[in-house]
Amino acid sequence: MNVTIADQTMFLAFWLSFARWSAVLFQLPLFDSVAVPGVVKILTSFLVSFAFFPELQGTLLAEIRYVGPEHIWLLVMFHTCAGLIIGFLVKCIMSLFVATGSILTQQIGFASVSYFDPTQGQQVGPFERLIEWTMVVLILSSGALVPMFKGVFQSFLSVNFLNADKMLKTPEYFVVFFKSAFSASVLLAGPLIFANLLMNLVFGIVARTIPQLNVLMVSFVVNIGLGLLLFLGIAEEFFQVSFDLYVEKLGDWFKFFSP
């Protein structure tokens, strides 16, 4: 069976589109799991690239004419790196909720409770996985990934080889982005942090008042019980605020990559 490429330049343009889309999609919360076969990831990237390619081929062909087909490797490296950076930003938004789950695990007293998740290939705690997958379901069911796809689409027009210095001229965006991600994690875990500090203060007073009481054992049980009840009470508001933060951060990301 012989395969003949009728238009080499058009094929190279599609390959550039596939390189960036695959670099982004491979880092999404569902696709970064080792349980998803590599063939599924590649085919999905191929279908997404094929769907958006008619609107992107003009920009990609202009890049190829600018550097020449003999230097296509330079464009492949550029689009792959751009896709990795864009996908990393999306993944950082999701890691905001994983970090919040880690803080909650520490505050409630589940720091020693963790298990090896074969789908992620790492140790995780109970709250990290609960919050992450709840957010994934909320995002997928609400269509909040649409701005992400629009952002990647716009990035072909705004961050291409013809104006590759766009990302180098705006380092302050990344500083603000990671700073706000950290502050958002602390904000989400704020109620449990405050409750834990208040409870430790109360048990400190109890320890001074009733020295014969084993405050350490009592506080361990009360900390877990109170933490679970408090999280149960604020769960609806917690996930609503988390979803609003995700949409806000994704909107900032979309504005940054708009032409």
**Residue whose structure tokens are 């705690």:** 125
Closest CA to 193 of 105, 92, 97, 98: 105
Distance CA 249, CA 176 (A): 11
- Integer Cα distance of 96 and 183 in angstroms: 9
Between helix 38-67 and helix 146-158 the angle, nearest 10°, is 20
**Taking the domains of the chain in order of start, what are their residue ranges?**
8-256
- pLDDT per residue of the chain (259 residues) written in tens, 0 to 9: 454 555 678 888 888 889 889 888 888 777 766 677 778 888 888 998 888 888 888 888 888 888 888 888 888 888 888 888 888 877 777 777 777 777 777 767 665 556 556 555 556 666 777 777 777 777 777 776 777 777 788 878 777 777 666 655 566 666 777 777 777 777 777 777 787 777 778 777 777 777 776 766 676 777 777 777 777 777 777 777 777 777 777 767 666 666 5
Instruction: State the pTM of this model.
Output: 0.72
CA distances from 230 to 124, 133, 186, 188, 203 (A): 22, 20, 16, 13, 18
For residues 84 and 23, give the distance between their C-alpha atoms in angstroms, rounded to a whole number: 5
Is residue 162 within 8 Å of 97, Cβ to Cβ?
no
Whole-number Å distance between alpha carbons of 159 and 215:
58
